Amino acid sequence: MTDQRENTPAADSTPELSEHELNDQMLFRAAKRQAIEDSGVSAYPVGVDRTHTLAQVRHSHEHLEAGEETDDVVTVAGRVMHVRNTGKLCFATLHEGDGTRLQVMISKANVGEEALAAWKTQVDLGDFVAVTGRVISSRRGELSVMADSWRMASKALRPLPTLHKELSEETRVRQRYLDLIVRPRAREVVLTRSLITHTVRRVLEDRGYIEIETPILQLIHGGAAARPFKTHLNAFDQDMTLRIATELYLKRAVVGGIERVYELGRVFRNEGVDSTHSPEFTTLEAYEAYADQFVMAERIKEIIQACASALGVEGIDTDRGRIELFSEWKWVSVYPGLSEAVGQEISPDTPAETLRGIAQERDISVDRAWDAEKLVVELFGEIVEPSLIQPTFVYDYPPSAQPLARQHREKPGLIEAWDLIIGGMERGTAFSELIDPVIQRQRLTEQSSKSAAGDVEAMQLDEDFLRALEYGAPPMGGLGLGLDRLIMLFTDLGIRETILFPLMKPE
């Protein structure tokens, strides 16, 4: 008995098809579909009585020696990824969602001449088929199902690309379903994201956190400095926005007595699109009563290290060196860190003009309307952050950087907040949260004035949020973690590759 190696592609597999060639192949496949339907058999049956997954067959029969046969009869199903039709014996490799592959063999002696002929004329690469037969090991030791019967489970009308040809990044992102079919790495990223998401939830729930859901449609956008998406609710004849953060509603929950609360959810910001930014992305926000920025630093460290352990890694190799996740995580203060980087003393009293001069010397674009605090944050982000490869908490920010953080308990003119930088990129942030409703009103009033003056990223005054604080909020710490950026860290991919279906320009 001859065998079939797994790397033999189907005959209609092509690297690039012209529009004419694609149309011809689709017409050819559509004719096959119609022939199946005309024979009284559905090309798209409602269900298939599958008895075993391909993985189950492999697991339960991995002991078979080359040439060994069993009486075990199974019905398996999967997508045809390789096929070779030769005389009285045909071979195909089926594929299922977890990446498992299994060979099936269609023999005239077992299925009969009519069924063999139907296989040869009806089955193409990409079709789903169901096969019933005995589990055997071929002479070459390939675990297989020797068919007694087969049926079409779903006829594919479009040909798949050649399996050994790389899809372009544009195709991978725009047609993710195709990417998942032909590229194992794409499926690995999905599984990695799922594992990381599960681990984040497990760590927080083990710490007593409760997951809730907060509104996506909001009357007033707040919780971050970002441009919102705007929409209109016809039922209320009311302009609305999509949320830019989950913060303000989570804090309302803490006011109400849910002392440890979090949400993993999508947020939406009407801003630029590049390798690290997407208009819609997933964040974790978590709030804990009676905690502060240092407690939340331990929480995020625990989350990231737990994700590393779940993935079986202790560090991450990059082109800029190895990131050690289980070594000591550093703390760098904003003003001293910037001073060291530029070679001159920078303090909260440094004039804006001096800072603009530093920006000009280094060819960093800044807005003339920015004040000294905004300029310090921008300069630190451009000059210092890219050099922070190992996990580093950047702290002691000026107040305007985070209007929802509380004033520093020891250092006037600063706030209690940090950003976590790993691999030269911000991965998360946290505050000792501002709970004084009087100061919070002042901060949000300032933001609202900026918004009215045309600052599209400034927050608006949320009277209901302030009312909640006026009922009394416990001291609390809060953290935000960009889930997509966490996955980028572990996969070394851009944000479009880590989001399964990212937003794309229309074709």
Distances in Å between the Cα of 485 and the Cα atoms of 223, 261, 282, 494 are 19, 22, 9, 9
- DSSP class of 158: S
Q: Which residues contact 371 (CB under 8 A, 6 or more apart)?
A: 352, 400
Domain end, chosen from 389, 423, 440, is at: 389
**Residues 159 and 198 placed together within one structural domain of the fold:** no
For 153, the domain range is 19-165
CB burial of residue 268 (10 Å; 0-12, 13-18, 19+): buried
Read off the tokens for 86. 């030769």
Q: Which pLDDT score, from 0 to 100, does residue 86 have?
A: 86
Domain assignment present for residue 494? The answer is yes
Q: Which pLDDT score, from 0 to 100, does residue 164 have?
A: 53
**Residues 109 and 39 placed together within one structural domain of the fold:** yes
Domain assignment present for residue 416? The answer is no
Q: Which residues contact 157 (CB under 8 A, 6 or more apart)?
A: 26, 29, 30, 33
pLDDT higher than 90, residue 402: no
pLDDT, one tens digit per residue, over 253-265 is 999 999 999 999 9
**Residues 476 and 494 placed together within one structural domain of the fold:** yes
**Residues 208 and 271 placed together within one structural domain of the fold:** yes
CA atoms within 13 A on the CB side of 469: 20
**Distance in angstroms (rounded) separating the CA atoms of residues 193 and 491:** 10
pLDDT higher than 60, residue 69: yes
**Residues 473 and 343 placed together within one structural domain of the fold:** no
**Residues 268 and 308 placed together within one structural domain of the fold:** yes
Q: Which pLDDT score, from 0 to 100, does residue 483 have?
A: 97
Domain end, chosen from 133, 165, 197, is at: 165
Domain assignment present for residue 311? The answer is yes
**Residues 311 and 335 placed together within one structural domain of the fold:** no
Domain assignment present for residue 93? The answer is yes
Phi and psi of 363, rounded to 5°?
60, 45
Q: What is the mean pLDDT of residues 98-111?
A: 95
223 — pLDDT class (breaks 50, 70, 90): confident
**Residues 347 and 305 placed together within one structural domain of the fold:** no
CATH number at residue 291: 3.30.930.10
**Residues 131 and 52 placed together within one structural domain of the fold:** yes
**CA neighbor of 284 nearest in space, from 302, 261, 309:** 261
Domain assignment present for residue 401? The answer is no
Q: Which pLDDT score, from 0 to 100, does residue 11 have?
A: 39
**Residues 382 and 292 placed together within one structural domain of the fold:** no
**Residues 289 and 313 placed together within one structural domain of the fold:** yes
Domain end, chosen from 389, 411, 430, is at: 389
Three-class secondary structure of residue 313 per DSSP: coil
**Residues 262 and 282 placed together within one structural domain of the fold:** yes
**Distance in angstroms (rounded) separating the CA atoms of residues 484 and 280:** 10
Domain count, the chain: 3
Q: What is the mean pLDDT of residues 146-166?
A: 88
Domain assignment present for residue 437? The answer is no
Q: What is the mean pLDDT of residues 408-425?
A: 95
Q: Which pLDDT score, from 0 to 100, does residue 434 have?
A: 94
CATH number at residue 47: 2.40.50.140
Q: Which pLDDT score, from 0 to 100, does residue 165 have?
A: 65
Domain assignment present for residue 284? The answer is yes
Domain assignment present for residue 431? The answer is no
- DSSP class of 413: T
**CA neighbor of 294 nearest in space, from 502, 72, 477, 105:** 477
